[in-house]
Structure 1
Amino acid sequence: MKSEDIQIRDPFVLPIPEEGKYYLFGSTDRNIWGPGTGFDAYVSADLAEWAGPFPVFRPPADFFADTNFWAPEVYARGGRYYMFATFRRKDNDLLGTAVLAADQPLGPFLPHSGGPVTPESWSSLDGSLFEDEAGEPWMAFCHEWQQIGDGEVCAVRLGADLREATGEPVTLFRASEAPWATPYVSPRYPDTANYVTDGPYLFRGDSGALYMLWASFIDNTYALGVARSASGGIAGPWHHQPEALYRNDGGHGMVFRAFDGRLLLTIHAPNRTPDERPLFLEIEERDGRIALAGRTSE
């Protein structure tokens, strides 16, 4: 398959250098707004031609969710592979991020945490693993705008085994704090001013500075922005780049290093089902900011 043949949202790439292969994960149900069937993955040597789909997760009969299987992110850690993914809980109909684990990058992934590691009473999504300079694991995630109006990006410490949160979540910023984000006019909430947070992902630039990608909307068009931690740590404070990095109806991105050394961003675009496709864009760190290579924004 070619990249333009793959319907996927929330793409996440795990490079495995010793294999010379890239593993592509994401929200792969044809209708991701309905019942969840699981997650598939694709494998490539060049980010253009892909083998797959390979089924990497199918829920067991006693799984805590059966709807909205979203945004799997897969990390190699301690000889195993850990998947952070969002699901809608059966018990309270709220979204939460849980951790799955496998011995191989193509799974099969099985439940690792005892349900979501996000707060039970919160509608939370898009959990993303981050290890601080001491090697301690954290999870960045979104407290959903549909529950609180002004969506938040939060962080919580995790235990060393990634099975549960070990502290209370802290709010890193609210969507309305970014100068580029505008209120989202939702058909479900037409009379309220809502600000969306989606898909936080933390990474370090070549300078060592800590950046965060996250998605929201500009005039009801999906867009991707960047924030930088003034302290160099996950607690921030976080300063937003004034303009969106990508504003052409694409977002929910992550960053990885290609085998040729380039720093690549992957996003899905456009932001409508069933037309979502993975895009791969080269980025660079420039004067304390992240930009598309050769450009300032799109």
Structure 2
Amino acid sequence: MITKNLCLSLLIGCWLLLFSTSKAQSNNPLDVAFGDPFVLYDEETDAYYMYGTGGVENGFVAYSSKDLKKWENRGTVYTAQQDKSWGTKDFWAPEVYKRGGKYYLFYSAHWKENPNDELENYRIGIATSTNPTGPFIDLTGRPLFDPGYPIIDGNVYFAEDGRLYLYYSRCCYKNPVQSEIAAWAKQQGMFDEIEESWIYGVELASDFSHVIGEPKLLLRPPVSRDDKQSEWESRSVTSGEVNRRWTEGSYLFKHNNLYYMMYSANHFGGENYAVGYATASHPLGPFEKSATNPILQKNISNGGIVSGTGHNSLLRDKEGKVWCVYHARTTKTGSQRLVFLDELKILPNGQLIVDGPTVKP
């Protein structure tokens, strides 16, 4: 039986039926140095547990909180120093789901089976524990599956009919794409080619043992410069930062029979990292990007101190408020990625709004 902790995607439509006009209270940035943050509320312990990239080499740590403001470091919850480990480095983007009394950790890492010595040999794996603070032990000693190209940022959606869907990002690595942006960058003498990352979706077996069918391409950067999404999704290229365009960090939920996929674009290490969303009538699309994108981005251009806002997840707290959980940087804290929580709202017309980025007064 799926617990309420696993039903975020199933219940989010109920949380957001009413549009709140009050401003969420901010405690940003949190004193948690994570990238790619994910928060689980566990009813059994009546506590929130946060997981993310960073905090320990070749593994993951967790933080816990009773009020989403004060967070306690609970130490290492997963380490590659175990018999079933298949990853060697770059342990990224953990997400934890509870099912049948157990906790399942989905994560990305560099796969040790690398006969061609690829620089980016990332796959997605699963580890399990009977406690939200671990220890998490790998299920099989291998990645969940091998699509033949590097993948990161696994996210799972639990549908009402019992089906499970896995979403992930194909890495930019060795994925050069022809587009008007790529042609423009080459004409400007900036880059010879532009690599891109794309978001895919695929059905997942109910026991997490394998994927079902072939992955389906769901989101990618715009091909045309006239596309309304092209400007904000290409800023890492047009600023001369790097020869890559990203579509990554996906997070899926449902509201009013519409599927929302939130995603991040641009370089995670730069100031232009930002969040947009797309909608569809089916978990595997086709998805249409919102004309209001990006819905979360830097504010340093407008006198603020926050940049690099991205790779979000969602959390419904005990009071029913829905939070967008993401990482960002500030001019006061430097290059370190820190966790932010800002309220997510859905307007009556279905439009998503994130009240952020905010910082504590």
Same fold flag (TM > 0.5): yes
AA of the residue aligned to 2:172: W
Counterpart CA distance in 2 for 1:84 and 1:38 is 12
- Determine whether 1:262 maps to 2:321: yes
Question: Superposition RMSD on alpha carbons, in Å?
Answer: 2.8
Structure 1, unaligned runs of 5 or more = 31-35
Residue 186 to residue 21, structure 1, CA distance change in 2 (3 Å): farther
Q: For residues 148-159 of structure 1, what are the structure 2 equivalents within 5 Å?
A: 148=175, 149-159=195-205
Q: Does 1:291 align with 2:340?
A: no
Aligned partner of 1:42 in structure 2 is 63
Higher strand share: 1
Shift of the 25–278 alpha-carbon distance from structure 1 to 2, 3 Å rule, reads same
Q: How high is the TM-score relative to the length of structure 2?
A: 0.72
Match of 1:236 in 2: 285
Q: Deviations over 1:249-268 (max 9, x none)?
A: 21100011111111111000
Q: Deviations over 1:133-178 (max 9, x none)?
A: 3111111000112231232110112222102222211111212267
Residues of 1 paired with 2:354 and 2:148: CA distance?
38
SS at match of 1:140: strand
- The yes-or-no answer on 1:173 pairing with 2:224 is no
* Partner Cα separation in structure 2 for residue 6 and residue 167 of structure 1: 38
Q: Could you report, residue by residue, the CA deviation over 1:68-92 in whole angstroms, capped at 9, with x for unpaired residues? A: 0001000011221111100011222
Q: What's the counterpart of residue 110 of structure 2? A: 88
Aligned mates of 2:334, 2:201 — CA distance in 1: 29
Q: Is residue 2:266 matched to residue 1:217? A: yes
**Are 2:95 and 1:73 equivalent residues in the alignment?**
yes
Residue identity opposite 1:283 in structure 2: L
Q: Secondary structure of 2:104's partner?
A: strand
Could you tell me how far 1:117 is from its partner in structure 2?
2.1
Aligned position for 2:37: 11
- 1:124 and 1:285, CA in 2 relative to 1: closer, same or farther beyond 3 A? same
For residues 98-136 of structure 1, the C-alpha deviation after alignment (integer angstroms, 9 at most, x for no partner) is 111111111111111442224252110001111223111
Counterpart amino acid of 1:168?
Answer: E
CA separation in 2, counterparts of 1:210 and 1:133? 12
Mind listing any 5+ residue stretches in structure 2 that lack a counterpart?
A: 1-27, 176-194, 299-307
The letter for the 2-side match of 1:172 is L
Contact 1:176/1:195, CA 8 A, preserved across alignment: no
Instruction: Give the TM-score of the pair, scaled to structure 1.
Output: 0.87
Distance in 1, matches of 2:139 and 2:357, equals 41
Equivalent residues in 2 for 1:95-114, closer than 5 Å: 95-114=122-141
Count of residues in correspondence between the two structures: 285
Q: 1:19 to 1:112 in 2, by over 3 A?
A: same
Provide, for residues 225-263 of structure 1, a one-character-per-residue CA deviation record: whole Å limited to 9, x for no partner.
11111x1x2111111112201111211000111111111
Cα 1:188–1:168 shift into 2, 3 Å: farther
Return the letter of the residue paired with 2:233.
A
Change (3 A) 1:186 1:77: farther
- Structure-1 separation of matches of 2:257 and 2:44: 25
Task: Choose 1 or 2 for highest CA Rg.
Answer: 2
Q: RCO higher in 1 or 2 (8 Å CA, sep ≥ 6)?
A: 2
- CA–CA distance in structure 1, aligned partners of residues 107 and 277 of structure 2: 22
Alignment-mate amino acid for residue 127 of structure 2: L
Gap change, CA 1:284 and 1:189, over 3 Å in 2: closer
Q: 1:20: Cα distance to partner?
A: 2.6
Q: How far did residue 29 of structure 1 move?
A: 3.6
Match of 2:19 in 1: none
